Amino acid sequence: MNRNPPKGVDLELEHRHEILGHGAKVMLTAFETRARLGLLDEAVKMAQATGNPVDIAATCQLRDRVGADINLEQELTQDLGMFARVGKASGNVEAYDFTDIDRTVSAGLSLKGPRWTRADDTVGLAGIVNGISAARERFLNASGLGIVVGDGQLPHPGSEQILETYYSLGILQQLHVSLDYQFVKNPAYNQDRGPVSIFAVRVHAQF
């Protein structure tokens, strides 16, 4: 299906402060995506009424998908920091970008490397819980497909739970290489799948 490019608005508000002499930051971000998007519950109702497969395209019209999140960052010591994030997005509207997430909670710690004489290195650990709305669960269970998820059925939905750790190695001041590992329980919100392990390598260079 040919769709016009989406239009979007992003808003970001940031406040920096100190707590007991340690730097901290609170950031609020919000987005609005306007495009030809379908409604999940309408697609399921149409499929049930006609006996045809779920077709999200049949419900598309110009509408908005909105979401927001709050990010917290707090320095605990000179080389140890914590971070947390809570986010929510429209749960009955087709997801157009990124991935199929309607709500998310994450928190973690990052430790810089001076303690082991690697000042440019960082090691981190985070826990993430992603969830989808009841409407998206019904849509996926009725054979609907999201951007990156969809098993044909979802009889046993569950939150996607991720434990992630990484090590960022400072090769040069302008070059970092990160080794990343994720342990994912209930991948794609399906309790009948997983758990799975994901390994990744990221390279960040700036000039």
Distance, in Å, from the CA atom of 120 to the CA atom of 165, rounded to the nearest integer, reads 17
Q: Averaged over 44-61, what is the pLDDT?
A: 93
Q: Using 50, 70 and 90 to split pLDDT, how confident is the model at 1?
A: very low
**Amino acid, single-letter form, for residue 71:** N
Q: Averaged over 31-48, what is the pLDDT?
A: 94
Q: Kindly list the structural domains of the chain, giving each domain's residue range(s) and its CATH number in brackets, ordered by start.
A: 7-205 (2.40.160.10)
What pLDDT, on the 0 to 100 scale, is given for residue 2? 45
Question: Given strand 80-89, what is the order of strands in its sheet?
Answer: 7-19, 22-37, 61-75, 80-89, 103-112, 122-131, 160-172, 175-185, 196-205
- Asked if the model's pLDDT at residue 4 lies above 70, the reply is no
pTM of the model: 0.88
Do residues 156 and 140 make contact, with C-beta atoms less than 8 angstroms apart?
no
> How much of the chain exceeds pLDDT 70, in percent?
98
What pLDDT, on the 0 to 100 scale, is given for residue 5? 67
What sign results for the dihedral spanned by CA atoms 164, 169, 172, 177? negative
Question: pLDDT per residue over 78-111, tens digit each?
Answer: 999 999 999 999 999 998 777 899 999 999 999 9
